[in-house]
Chain A
Amino acid sequence: MRDEADQDPVIRLRSIRTQFGSHVVHDGLDLDVYRGEILGVVGGSGTGKSVLLRSIAGLQRPTEGEIEVLGTDVRKASEAERAALERRWGVMFQDGALFSSLNVRENVEVPMRAVEGLDPDLRRAMADLKISMSGLPYLAGDKYPSELSGGMRKRAGLARALALDPEIVFLDEPTAGLDPIGAADFDTLIRRLSDTMGLTVFLVTHDLDTLHAICDRIAVLAEKKVLVTGTMDEMLKVDHPWVHDYFHGPRARAALAAKDAQKEG
């Protein structure tokens, strides 16, 4: 299922160049994301991981380059094409980015309101289902974002991103700021949802445990482009100094040990 060679990429980036003033963030960046995989994007601070996510999701225009998502060129798409495309992906922002004036259920209902012919009672039930599938208790639907903890806000943000059963979800640091147990639960949740709903997941992370636990492939951003992509095992063999330090540092060894212990146990 995750065989790269015979599959068309759902996201295809070619020679992306992003520039803010004289500051070049990406230069000649290429990346492919395949259907059904979980791709983890890593890189040092300021290497433009979030910028890349925002560019693909159409929140930002790169200076040059081609971005093709689900066969549509994001940069040249008409408004109608873009609207159709936006229904096929969901974005979870770092802190959930929930609308503060709406409760969690209403937040999840927001994208569903655009669907014609959907009965309001069914919409409510679907929102409750998505909240429940994101691992929140049923009564959390009545709460407002300010009443939720950081982890719950992230789950609510994920529920909203999944509202329309998207084909691709973009996750910006899904486990940042969570305690290790919460982070591990969130990893499992993403893996399970990806498997059952056939999601393609593009996630930006710093969390080595996440990379070990759920990512099918890893893309390393460095030197203004995607330096290398591949599985975790392949990453461990790369001898670029930054990549080597990243995947062989003390934290990386701890994460690897944890993963091995899990396999044995």
Chain B
Amino acid sequence: MPATVTTDQTDDGSVLRLGGAFALADLTGLHKALMRAAAAGPVTVDLTEVTRLDTAAAWAIAEAEKAAQSAGHALHLEGADEGAAALIDTVRAALPDPDTQTKPAFSLLHWLDGFGRSVAAGGVFLSQLLGILGVFIARLGRSVLHPSEFRLTSLVHHCQEVGLKAVPIVALMAFLIGVVLAFQGAAQLRQFGAEVFVVDLIAVSILRELGILLTAIIVAGRTASAFTAAIGSMKMREEIDAMRTLGIDPATALIVPRVLALLLMLPILGMIANATGLFGGALMSWIELGISPGLFVTRLVENTDVSHLMVGTIKAPFFAIVIGIVGCHAGLQVGNNAESLGRQTSAAVVTAIFSVIVIDALFSVFFAQVGI
């Protein structure tokens, strides 16, 4: 039976007759009718015909009672059976205290406060990264002094995960970049009849910048997230705390093998990227410009200084350290819930890629200044 509300005006104020089974959908109408009556004068609420009173209706009655009292009237309940009366009592007792409903107002001070906090948090973040780097170096040094503590199996495992398994994607990426460079370079250089310089274009840009930078970006996406997810889920399940209680140093067990594996593997991946990038460039030059592989190799060897390769390769260890440290740090920041794991994983990827690009830019400025 659907809920009904009828209002009668009598000499002693209004009488609201409620009937039927109340549900949440009837609340809006009931609340309006009760509030209007409570504001106008004394109210009598007759529940005789009600078959089911839900919490929403009980709340509306309790609210109207409060409103009537504050307006100086009275609200009488009639015909409430035992259950309805108990429910209204429970609701009355549970009504939130309006005094506690304070919300902080927005102000310039709050904005400044938030700004200051985020700047300080940035400083804390950088110092924590430095802390992890310090721990890595200290534990690595300790492993040199005490080789028995070093986890060789773990290192090999991570070298496979970080290095070997990344070879296909890195090689394919570099090959395509070589192809694109040759194709775009040819279109421009052909206008000057200087097609053969495409070799220099490809060699310098791949060896000096793109080979290692794009490799580092791919590794940052793939490995930083893997580090964060692995360490973070261990942190979530208190495995890291368990390690500490068992006398195992988490830094030696988790951070050293991972960062060291990256440090060993990233230069090799960079070399592979250089080789496949040059191969892609040579192939496209042959197809598009008719530069034979022999000519390509000759120009490559004669015209390209080895310093370009050095400039590119020297950056690899720095990229590796940053990616590894950022990934491990984010993993250790994971709290005891799954949301923070997801948040930290995506933050690790963004931070790692961003840091790689920042470092690359710094190196460019440095090499330009010293004139290499």
Contacts from A to B (Cβ < 8 Å): 100-101, 112, 115-119, 122, 125-126, 128-130, 132-133, 137-139, 146, 162, 164-165, 192-193, 195-198
Residue count of chain B within 8 Å CB distance of chain A: 28
Query: Would B54 and A165 count as touching, CB distance under 8 A?
Result: yes
The residues of B that contact A197 with a CB separation of less than 8 Å are 55, 87
Going nearest first, the 7 A-B pairs with the smallest beta carbon separation are: A138-B96, A132-B94, A165-B54, A133-B94, A196-B90, A146-B337, A196-B86
Q: Are A139 and B100 in contact (CB under 8 A)?
A: yes
Interface pair B28/A100, CB less than 8 Å apart? no
Query: In the complex, what residue of chain A is closest to B23 when comparing beta carbons?
Result: A165
B25 CB within 8 Å of chain A:
yes
Inter-subunit contact B28/A133 (CB<8 Å): no
Alpha-carbon gap, A100 to B95, bound state (A): 26
Q: Confirm or deny: B91 has a beta carbon within 8 angstroms of a beta carbon on chain A.
A: yes
Partner pick for B96 among A100, A116, A128, CB 8 A cutoff: A128
Give every chain A residue within 8 A of B56 (Cβ-Cβ).
126, 165
CB-defined contacts of A193 to chain B, threshold 8 Å:
90
Q: Determine whether the beta carbon of B25 is less than 8 Å from that of A116.
A: yes
Contacts A122-B27, A128-B96; is A198 near B55 (CB within 8 Å)? no
Q: Is the CB of B55 within 8 A of A133?
A: yes
- Known contacts A100-B337, A122-B31, A133-B94; is A115 also within 8 Å of B100 by CB? no
Instruction: Give min CB distance, A63 to chain B, whole Å.
Output: 32
Point out which of A100, A126, A165, A192 has the most chain B C-beta atoms below 10 A from its C-beta. Answer: A165
Residues of A within 8 Å of B94, CB to CB, are 129, 132-133
Task: Apart from A115-B24, A132-B96, A192-B90, list 15 A-B contacts with CB within 8 A.
Answer: A112-B24, A115-B25, A118-B25, A122-B28, A126-B24, A129-B95, A132-B94, A132-B95, A133-B90, A137-B100, A138-B100, A146-B340, A193-B90, A196-B83, A198-B83
Tell me if B335 counts as interface (CB < 8 A to partner A).
yes
Inter-chain contact A165/B90, CB cutoff 8 Å: no
Bound CA–CA A255/B44 (angstroms): 48
Cα A139 to Cα B97 in complex, Å, equals 10
Q: Which of A125, A146, A195 contacts B335 (CB 8 A)?
A: A146
B11 in the interface (beta carbon within 8 A): no
Which A residue's beta carbon lies closest to that of B103? A142
Give the residues in chain B near A101, CB-CB below 8 Å. Answer: 339
- Residues B41-66 near A (CB distance < 8 A): 54-56, 59, 63
B172 within 8 A of A: no
Which residues on B sit within 8 Å (CB–CB) of A129? 55, 59, 91, 94-96
Contacts of B96 in A (CB 8 A): 128-129, 132, 138
**A100, B338: Cβ atoms under 8 Å?**
yes
Residue of A137, A165, A195, A198 touching B24 (CB-CB under 8 A): A165
Chain A residues positioned under 8 Å from B184 (CB to CB): none
Q: Which residues of A contact B89 (CB under 8 A)?
A: 196
